[in-house]
Structure 1
């Protein structure tokens, strides 16, 4: 080893120059960079994958896969899902039209399935159509508590859209028995409709000149009972159930929530009492108008109705009116978006006898028709058929 300072030769293991004393630097190891590998081309990868698949298919794996895609295999798995009431699997196998109302979530909510007490079963036949596009598989089975065997045939169709490589995929065509297609639902004009929380799009609304109702035509709905929410254009939201089956359903009567129904009943009690007390006291409508007014209200119809009502009450010499019970029989919606309420009333009254200052008290019942707006609560805007004749006999 030579000294870098004086250039004289030293021993190979010397750390300092024995002539000038300078530290002799250690040699560094030189690491040569590895030659980078060339990335595999995409085309090469595809060729390798295809070769592997072909080897698998031709080598016996194809036979295993093909057995898994036979109609008999699909039908057996579907039949077992029916037996076990496995709605997830049942949905996966059935062939149904696809839209926002035929999802698995809605299927599990509305379609009723029951556990079958099947003791044992076996496949007895499998047939394919001549064109190879459909098949039917028949099972024989026995149920608990019954000796004679039963049979069920499951019909399948080939799913042309979804294939696994060279293998056909089959779907259960019985799905059509679970679905109503082009189902019509009639609602009040300009109402917003929700089925199981999913809003019915306006694209399903049928063109019509009907001024009172709208009709929605939904391409496919599962047969079953749906939770329905309908919001009228005045903002009132109603909740009910809809049993889908047959051709169509109508939501042209309102089913209020318990809370809203109680609110309406209380409003009717208060308003009916106010009208009778005011008429008995010979008050004009201007005296009580403030009790019925609300923002943007139009009380012209109520004012006209009250005028005739009050005159009749005075002519019949009614002295006292007490409502004892009421029953809201029906609620519909007018062209103006008001609520037209049919209500059955039971009441007690006191009236002056003919040709005497004495009074007589009786009880009676009647049906009245009251019209309400909905504006942060129920607001009376018209009335007809409130009793004005009271028997003295």
Structure 2
């Protein structure tokens, strides 16, 4: 016997397949071909009275073979019972689906704008400024850091500590140029009470939705710094000085323009609140001031408060004496301008102007009629610093006084003969020094003529 389900051979009379367990079909009784034909003939043979009489014929022998009857119906095999590990796998799969769904809902809540705002305000309440700063949608820089953020937010809160708070929300769409933003913002209204007041106050915390997602699934919200941020803040400082903001040196790359010896620095981005501005140099008294930047603001008050150090002023007055003496000595010795060129500014216009003045002084030392200066002594110098409005701190002007004693030959008006004479004059002159590199040089000077007849 062969199984109709799997084709496995089984022993005769088996009720179930020993391989697959299917129920075996009951075999039909075996009949011969002759018996089958007789049965068919019997069903089609007419009544005996109706058949004509014929001669009997001799039947030919027929070979008989067994024939199996085909079952008219197919029985469905019974399903085997579910195994334990299959049941456990189904339970685990359902549990995992439930856990994933629960985690997704918890993540949605944790990264929601309301929860982000609450965590941000909670860190502010605890004065954990480092954590609070991490919620800002801003890049850290020289003037944007935890300390400047603390000052900016404290200024916005009126320098009061948050005691408790409550977050409400609103929603609006706003355009954004930030490449990490998709343009959706939420304004969260926060009501709070400070330690110093029982009156309820409020601030608006603006959140920005970024393109980047948390765990590739949850929306990422950051606190917009626009209410705390300042753009294009300018500070004026004398050329040649160093400008520091909150102890950080401002690079010369930040100089937007220079006018009348004043450099105008621009800080592209910084946070609001109190900042310390300092202007320093080896030649000046340090000038400091507290400023509160605003968008497009401008600070130049320090320029008018800067003064040269007293020892520098004293040294320049002494230098004015020495340089004036050197110039007159060179003229007395009939030296050309190039011999004293190093005393003056390298600016070509300055040198051209002073050269003309010096050549005029050379002419005073000897006249065409033969009269000349035969001895020259400068002494009793004195001087003081002059304040020049809108002048660079490194253009220092001094008003000097000097006594000039000189001997000369003079032509007698009556006889025409040369006679030795002497005279003394008290003159004043003005000299302006300019700092070039680390050296003070003359930018302007008045050279007095020496009159004799």
Give the corresponding residue for 1:341.
395
Give the corresponding residue for 2:22.
none
Against the structure 1 CA distance between its residues 369 and 282, is the aligned structure 2 distance closer, same or farther, given a 3 Å change threshold? Answer: closer
Alpha-carbon deviations, 1:284-338, whole Å to 9, x = none?
48499767727995755444455678999x9xx9963323x537767867xxxxx
Is 1:126–2:142 an aligned residue pair? no
Is 1:161–2:220 an aligned residue pair? no
Give the corresponding residue for 2:134.
92
Give the corresponding residue for 1:43.
none
Give the corresponding residue for 1:36.
none
Name the CA distance, whole Å, in 2 between partners of 1:211 and 1:331.
Answer: 7
Query: How do 1:1-393 and structure 2 match up within 5 A?
Result: 56-59=99-102, 61-96=103-138, 98=139, 100-101=141-142, 103-104=144-145, 107=148, 113=154, 116-118=159-161, 120-123=163-166, 125-129=168-172, 133-144=185-196, 146-147=197-198, 149-165=199-215, 166-173=217-224, 175-183=225-233, 196-197=248-249, 199=251, 219-223=268-272, 225=275, 244-247=293-296, 249=298, 264-277=312-325, 284=332, 286=335, 293=342, 299-305=351-357, 320-323=380-383, 325-326=384-385, 341-343=395-397, 370-375=432-437, 377-384=438-445
Against the structure 1 CA distance between its residues 380 and 245, is the aligned structure 2 distance closer, same or farther, given a 3 Å change threshold? Answer: same
**For the Cα contact (< 8 Å) 1:123–1:139, is it kept in 2?**
yes
Name the SS of the counterpart of 1:245 in structure 2.
coil
Name the SS of the counterpart of 1:72 in structure 2.
helix
Tell me, which stretches of 5 or more residues in structure 2 are unaligned? 1-93, 175-183, 365-372, 406-421
Against the structure 1 CA distance between its residues 292 and 215, is the aligned structure 2 distance closer, same or farther, given a 3 Å change threshold? Answer: same
How many pairs does the alignment contain? 307
Name the SS of the counterpart of 1:176 in structure 2.
coil
Name the CA distance, whole Å, in 2 between partners of 1:125 and 1:302.
Answer: 75
Against the structure 1 CA distance between its residues 188 and 327, is the aligned structure 2 distance closer, same or farther, given a 3 Å change threshold? Answer: closer
Name the CA distance, whole Å, in 2 between partners of 1:211 and 1:168.
Answer: 54
Name the SS of the counterpart of 1:133 in structure 2.
strand
**Aligned-pair distance for 1:58?**
0.9
Name the CA distance, whole Å, in 1 between partners of 2:206 and 2:380.
Answer: 74
**Aligned-pair distance for 1:341?**
0.6
Against the structure 1 CA distance between its residues 94 and 332, is the aligned structure 2 distance closer, same or farther, given a 3 Å change threshold? Answer: farther
**For the Cα contact (< 8 Å) 2:327–2:340, is it kept in 1?**
no
Name the CA distance, whole Å, in 1 between partners of 2:232 and 2:95.
Answer: 47
**For the Cα contact (< 8 Å) 1:120–1:142, is it kept in 2?**
yes
**Aligned-pair distance for 1:79?**
2.6
Tell me, which stretches of 5 or more residues in structure 1 are unaligned? 1-50, 334-338
**For the Cα contact (< 8 Å) 1:305–1:383, is it kept in 2?**
no
**Aligned-pair distance for 1:123?**
0.4
TM-score, structure 1 as length reference? 0.52
Against the structure 1 CA distance between its residues 86 and 53, is the aligned structure 2 distance closer, same or farther, given a 3 Å change threshold? Answer: farther
TM-score, structure 2 as length reference? 0.47
Alpha-carbon deviations, 1:84-107, whole Å to 9, x = none?
5443233222234x4855653684
**For the Cα contact (< 8 Å) 1:254–1:330, is it kept in 2?**
no
Give the corresponding residue for 2:72.
none
Name the CA distance, whole Å, in 2 between partners of 1:63 and 1:156.
Answer: 24
Larger radius of gyration: 2
Name the SS of the counterpart of 1:74 in structure 2.
helix
**Aligned-pair distance for 1:141?**
0.7
Name the SS of the counterpart of 1:177 in structure 2.
coil
**Aligned-pair distance for 1:361?**
9.5
Name the CA distance, whole Å, in 2 between partners of 1:225 and 1:385.
Answer: 45
Name the CA distance, whole Å, in 1 between partners of 2:218 and 2:435.
Answer: 63
**For the Cα contact (< 8 Å) 2:167–2:191, is it kept in 1?**
yes
